[in-house]
Structure 1
Amino acid sequence: MLSASPQALPAASTPLRREMRETLHLAGPLAAANLLQMMVYAIDVVFVARLGQEALAASSLAIALFGLINWSLCGLTGAVAPLIAAELGQRRHAVREIRRSVRMALWLSVVASLAGMGVCLLGERLMLLTGQDPRVAARAGGFLAILMFALIPLIGANVLRTFVSAMGRPYFATAITGLAILVNALGNWAFVFGNLGAPALGLAGSAVSSCLTGLATFAAYALAIRADRRLRRYRLFGRFWRPEWQRLQELVKIGLPIAGTILAEAGLFSGAAFLMGRIGEAELAGHTVALQVAAFCFQVPFGIGQAATIRVGYHYGARDRAGIHRAALVALGAGGGFMACTSLMMLLAARPIVSLYVDPAEPANAALIGFAVQYMIVAAAFQLFDGVQAVAAGALRGLQDTRVPMLIAVFCYWVPGAAVSIGLGLFTPLRGLGVWLGLLVALVIVAAMLLWRWHRRERLGLVPG
């Protein structure tokens, strides 16, 4: 696939340009799908906000816990990506081996989702332990008791999304996520307020809408795979009852550290919100706005990291050491270049960006805007490191190296990162700015250590001989 062909371009430049084309072909639709996914979640906020402050607070707490569970389980089952890519690279019995990997990933998605549903049932107790208002915690627990049924179709859909992306059909992910926005908006409109003959369920209606959106997403992927001639021949659901215990063990071995990495990073950023809550309401509001902007920008290098996993995994299976190097080089350049642009944008236009979220003419928003602008300056500094660590982690996953990157993440986020955030945030005049400096420290160290591990991949025995 990557062998040079006679062209007018110099022979040495042809493989690199081809790798860039293949990477961007994957990364573009995946990044777009990630951005659209944020809009799916935003739809819930738009409708629930009209039910009042208590309903919005309850749904925010519930979605925060549900989102952490969902993303962790997506990381666990997303371990199928490097396996599929390596099997494509080997080209030996690829159809059969890929079918086995996807089948076991779907099995894992069901089992893991059931465990996640168990955590959701404890939602009210967990929120009471963190000191939340009992009425809000009770409503959040009831919301989670419905929302948890969305886990199985959502995690299963993530497996199918990984399959279609690895097979060169990433635009399916973009189109289906766009469809999910429409389904979720229609579902909220119908079940929250009682339109289209549906009962007006209020807050519970938003949870029902999310469940229907998950089912529609999974069904859309299944139909797309069925309709595509190349994908249909893999017969993913054929002999679905047949176990492949060794393959399942491989998925768990690779996937559990990915889930742990997500928990470590998401836990620090979620903990930062609790720290901000202790510092002040205006600081927390400014933190929420600045973090929303940073998270929106992060979706692009996150998509590039997903593409890096597939491209590096392909060359890993083909035992192409030069191809592995090219795939990571292109992905790191694309991810770092994009985040450098967003950093510059935040530095030059922090106040106009914040004004998209809150009204700058309202005197009551003055403190909020001031804090948000401060935090976005720090966000501009850590954007580049956040992008690099996301792509480097994706590249290492392509080599099926996940355990040590997880240990790096746990240490860096929860030792220097948390220590600096707590120390500067609660015990110095820096307050909220100190919390953000802790996030910066964590991301700088994580990025440096992951890059160091990637640089020493051959000495560490991560690359096949």
Structure 2
Amino acid sequence: MKQTHSKKEKIIQFVKIMLPIFITQIGLFSMNFFDTIMSGNYSSSDLAGVAIGSSIWVAVFTGLSGILLSITPIVAQLIGAENKKDVPFSVSQGVYLAVLMALTVIVIGAFVLNPILNNMELSSKVREIAHDYLIALSFGMIPLFVYNVLRSFIDALGQTRVSMMITLLCLPINVVFNYLLIFGKFGFPELGGVGAGYASSITYWLITFIAIGVIKGVQPFSHYNVFRRLYKISLSEWKAILKIGVPIGFSIFFETSIFSAVTLLMSTFDTITIASHQAALNFASFVYMVPLSMSMALTIVVGFEVGAKRYVDAKMYSMIGIAFAVGISLLFGIFLFFFREQIASIYTKEAAVIAMTSKFLLFALFFQLSDAIQAPIQGVLRGYKDVNFTFLMAFISFWIVGLPTGYLFATFTDLQAFGYWIGLIVGLAVGAIGLSLRLLYVQKTKFPAKNVSEI
């Protein structure tokens, strides 16, 4: 990553950083995507079980792994300030923290998983699939958390193509193991949706070992000597990571868990409704990879410029990123409107599920614009290390506004399950407005950038 001096140079550097992130996110998301569609093609019960299990898993993982995303702005600002000697120490402490967090989740999950599932109105078969799917995923939890730290370090150096290559190497392996373990091919046990969990765990171990090898043996990563010294645990550095990471993690948790909460609330509906909701939400999450990738790229470039105290450049990057996200999301929205039935048919062959999924996808259209605004702004604010308001806004917009609104529509109108999606749309819109106002305040008062038009 290098300093840029014009708008054109900034666009080129932003795209070079963002595109590999997007491909990486698509690759990581595709693991869950193939889990879902391959389980759905096994049976609707397996699709529903994986849907419930994924809803619990995604809420926990994304929230806690979000804490580890603090490594990106920390390293980016260290590099921008040309303080490279502290980078390996921060990365090592992040790895220690990742292992501790993963072990904590495994221990807590051993006690709370059964009570959570038993309190849900699920058929015995769906409950069993969801339980066993989560157990299978837990075998890959430690490497997955560690990989998030290593990837944050790799990306913070602007070397996002490396993360992309690691993911693309492992995705076919994930699909192959899904095929072997879900359908029981070539002598492997036929595990249904549960097999997708084991396939993902195998893949998590693989990408982590590859990332370690790359960081140890490939420039510019090997220059930092991340694994050549065993640092002592530093509670002060953990505090620094958590100070930035906890608000990031909670903001991500509040955002992702609202979708999980809606899925869990939908457990009162029939299996077709649960499966249709999950299929539509899965595709909406796929489209979300665009603004999310731009958000992660903005954290890198804005953090780099803020570390160097080039606030004019940081503001210009934020404007570029938001404009890109809005434009591309509009194109995705048009595609979604005209091809929603074809999209639904990817997930299942059952006509009833296809019909209901198509209806859910209409509501997903309205997700796009709000996501295209609020996700990039979150990335910009993280680049500034301004994370507390994002956490607060996520809680208010989704849990104080979005979920109650959805419950009211679902309970007291004829919309039923679709009412929850209206609540999600309202929550996303409120979040987008609040974050926009916060960014204007931060750039005007904390990091004033003058003469942006001169760039």
TM over 0.5: yes
Other-structure match for 2:20: 29
Other-structure match for 2:400: 415
1:200 aligned counterpart, secondary structure: coil
CA distance in 2, matches of 1:151, 1:357: 26
2:142 aligned counterpart, secondary structure: helix
The question of 1:438 aligning with 2:423 is answered: yes
Other-structure match for 1:221: 211
* Distance of aligned partners of 1:462 and 1:421 in 2 relative to their CA distance in 1, 3 Å threshold: farther
1:247 aligned counterpart, secondary structure: helix
The question of 1:114 aligning with 2:103 is answered: yes
CA distance in 1, matches of 2:449, 2:9: 22
The 5 A counterparts of 1:58-69 are: 58-69=49-60
Shift of residue 427, structure 1, vs aligned partner: 0.2
CA distance in 2, matches of 1:230, 1:393: 28
- Of the structure 1 ranges 58-67 and 418-427, higher mean CA displacement relative to structure 2 is found in 58-67
CA distance in 2, matches of 1:220, 1:313: 27
Which deviations, in whole Å up to 9, do the C-alpha atoms of 1:347-388 show, x marking residues without a partner? 3443443344455xx7x43xx455444433332223011121
Other-structure match for 2:367: 382
CA distance in 1, matches of 2:449, 2:93: 25
The question of 1:303 aligning with 2:293 is answered: yes
CA distance in 1, matches of 2:233, 2:106: 23
The 5 A counterparts of 1:10-409 are: 15-45=6-36, 48=39, 56-92=47-83, 94=84, 96-121=85-110, 122-134=112-124, 136-190=126-180, 200=189, 202=191, 205-278=195-268, 282-358=272-348, 364-365=351-352, 368-409=353-394
- Of the structure 1 ranges 151-160 and 245-254, higher mean CA displacement relative to structure 2 is found in 245-254
* Distance of aligned partners of 1:43 and 1:321 in 2 relative to their CA distance in 1, 3 Å threshold: same
Other-structure match for 1:428: 413
* Distance of aligned partners of 1:207 and 1:344 in 2 relative to their CA distance in 1, 3 Å threshold: closer
> Contact conserved, 1:36 with 1:178, CA < 8 A, in 2?
yes
Which deviations, in whole Å up to 9, do the C-alpha atoms of 1:226-261 show, x marking residues without a partner? 332211111111223323332221111111111111
> Contact conserved, 1:332 with 1:391, CA < 8 A, in 2?
yes
CA distance in 2, matches of 1:201, 1:357: 20
Unaligned 5+ runs, structure 1: 5-14
> Contact conserved, 1:31 with 1:300, CA < 8 A, in 2?
yes
CA distance in 2, matches of 1:383, 1:430: 21
* Distance of aligned partners of 1:406 and 1:462 in 2 relative to their CA distance in 1, 3 Å threshold: farther
CA distance in 2, matches of 1:137, 1:357: 21
Unaligned 5+ runs, structure 2: 451-455
> Contact conserved, 1:48 with 1:59, CA < 8 A, in 2?
yes
* Distance of aligned partners of 1:284 and 1:188 in 2 relative to their CA distance in 1, 3 Å threshold: closer
CA distance in 1, matches of 2:42, 2:347: 20
- Of the structure 1 ranges 279-288 and 219-228, higher mean CA displacement relative to structure 2 is found in 279-288
Other-structure match for 2:453: none
Which deviations, in whole Å up to 9, do the C-alpha atoms of 1:44-99 show, x marking residues without a partner? 3455557655555444433332222222222111110000110111013x1x2111
* Distance of aligned partners of 1:322 and 1:459 in 2 relative to their CA distance in 1, 3 Å threshold: closer
- Aligned letter for 1:303? S
CA distance in 2, matches of 1:267, 1:404: 18
> Contact conserved, 2:374 with 2:436, CA < 8 A, in 1?
yes
CA distance in 1, matches of 2:259, 2:57: 15
- Aligned letter for 1:451? S
* CA-based RMSD: 2.7
CA distance in 2, matches of 1:61, 1:370: 21
Which deviations, in whole Å up to 9, do the C-alpha atoms of 1:390-425 show, x marking residues without a partner? 110111011111111111100110112112111111
Higher relative contact order (CA 8 A, sep 6+): 2
> Contact conserved, 1:319 with 1:464, CA < 8 A, in 2?
no
